[in-house]
Amino acid sequence: MIEIRSVRKTFGPLEVLKGISLDVNKGELLCLIGASGSGKSTLLQCINGLEPIQGGEIIVDGVSVHDPKTNINTLRRKLGIVFQQYNAFPHLTALENVALAPRVVAKRSRSDARALAQKHLDHVGLGAKAGSLPSKLSGGQQQRLAIARALAMEPTYMLFDEVTSALDPELVGEVLETMRLLKAEGMTMVVVTHDISFARESADRVAFLHQGEVCEIGTAAEVIDRPQQPQTQKFLRRERQASLDMLERTVA
């Protein structure tokens, strides 16, 4: 379980998170939605300690993430994260990308790590691309590679930071497909997304962040179909319009 308790985060004078509290339960898929700058990506980076926080506490399975006594590298093995910009390691083949952390961090033998990597590449449908460098893969394939790389550490939680935002529209589907697969397998997931339809169909709960606070939280049906807060209603109206515009551009 991930417990987020009154977390405050500032970048200089700018307060990005203004005392956010949130729980992520085992086995659920929680979507974080909200406008750019609402703090949802920052919150995700705080959960695995990539960003320091200025107040409050984040507790993962009873361990405080930002406690200086915590071994963050051990804790991070529980928390896989996938970024918007894939961040594949360009000097390594797909297989080596996935095998690196199991070998270096989990201290598996080279052959063990490679077998594990192949298993996870197969899992995300990239088994045939094991020997390819990332530069030879499409955006969607690179993003699935990033997912396999995170999964190879056998995390308890997976964090997704706008993983489809940088993709061409026709490549979004394969990445979402992989995420649905993980959900079906019972993975606990926190997904920052602009994809409202993905949130509605896949999320167990949805949290709408507005200006560094949780404005509204509930089941997907509650938050997306019957939003109570005026900010949520306004945001969803705008998102629907944006996706309609996008559709028109794609068709035209």
Footprint of other proteins (CB under 8 A): 45, 48, 50, 73-74, 76-77, 79-81, 83, 85, 87, 89-91, 100-101, 104-106, 146, 149-150, 153
- Helix or strand run (H / E) with residue 32: strand 29-33
Other Cβ atoms closer than 10 A to 58: 22
- If the CB atoms of residues 38 and 142 are measured against other proteins, the closer one turns out to be 142
Measured from the CB of residue 237, what is the shortest distance to other proteins in angstroms?
Answer: 33
Dist. CA 164–CA 240, nearest whole Å = 17
Measured from the CB of residue 72, what is the shortest distance to other proteins in angstroms?
Answer: 8
Dist. CA 84–CA 197, nearest whole Å = 18
Measured from the CB of residue 92, what is the shortest distance to other proteins in angstroms?
Answer: 8
Measured from the CB of residue 156, what is the shortest distance to other proteins in angstroms?
Answer: 13
Residues comprising the chain, all counted:
252
Residue 247, both tokens: 């559709």
Residue 75, both tokens: 């804790």
- Helix or strand run (H / E) with residue 192: strand 188-192
Measured from the CB of residue 100, what is the shortest distance to other proteins in angstroms?
Answer: 6
Dist. CA 170–CA 177, nearest whole Å = 13
Dist. CA 221–CA 180, nearest whole Å = 18
- If the CB atoms of residues 130 and 220 are measured against other proteins, the closer one turns out to be 130
- If the CB atoms of residues 81 and 192 are measured against other proteins, the closer one turns out to be 81
- If the CB atoms of residues 149 and 183 are measured against other proteins, the closer one turns out to be 149
- If the CB atoms of residues 21 and 85 are measured against other proteins, the closer one turns out to be 85
Residue 213, both tokens: 């606070």
